[in-house]
Homo-oligomer: A and B are copies of this chain.
Amino acid sequence: MKKGNMMNRIHLSLIITLALLTIINLGCKENKNESTLEENKSIAYKGQLAPAEFFTGKAWVTGLVDNDSVFTTAAGSVFFEAGARSNWHSHPSGQISIVTEGVGYHQIKGEPIQIIQAGDVVKCPPNKVHWHGASKDSSMSHIYIVPNTENGIVNWMGPVTDEEYKSL
């Protein structure tokens, strides 16, 4: 074999390498795009920034079911950034939470903080003072359901202090 042929073979080998790397890299990117599409077709609601008056840190709220006299139920989705949480509050007819993403905390006054994660369902009984939010290191989203709104929806109280939040 001539030296020129050898060099051609090396070049061909490198070109094939680069071509394969490009194809495989594109393959990886395609997978990522598919995953982004899946995320878009999800219930990862964007929502409105929650009022600083009732939340510590950043949380976004999306109303899903407006209270009315037919269903007497209010529902929505809240996304809490890591570290963000609601103020202490209560609901005259209680509240049901379905955790849809991440890891968070839920605490009824006088009880230990409970760790909650995607798939969990938490019930807070009527008039029990409580708070919920993200964990220190992870965001948390939940769908809240407030039943029997003819009795009222929510009574807001003071913020969850850093000391209370870190008492886990």
Contacts and interface: CB of A to CB of B under 8 A. Distances in A.
Contacts of A42: 100-101, 118-119
A9 to B, nearest CB: 6
How many of these chains are in the complex? 2
Contact of A14 (B13, B72, B145): B13
B1 A43 contact: no
B10 A148 contact: no
Interface in A7-46: 7, 9-10, 13-14, 16-17, 20-21, 24-25, 27-28, 31-32, 35, 41-43, 45
Given A20-B21, A145-B145, A70 B94 contact: yes
A75 B145 contact: yes
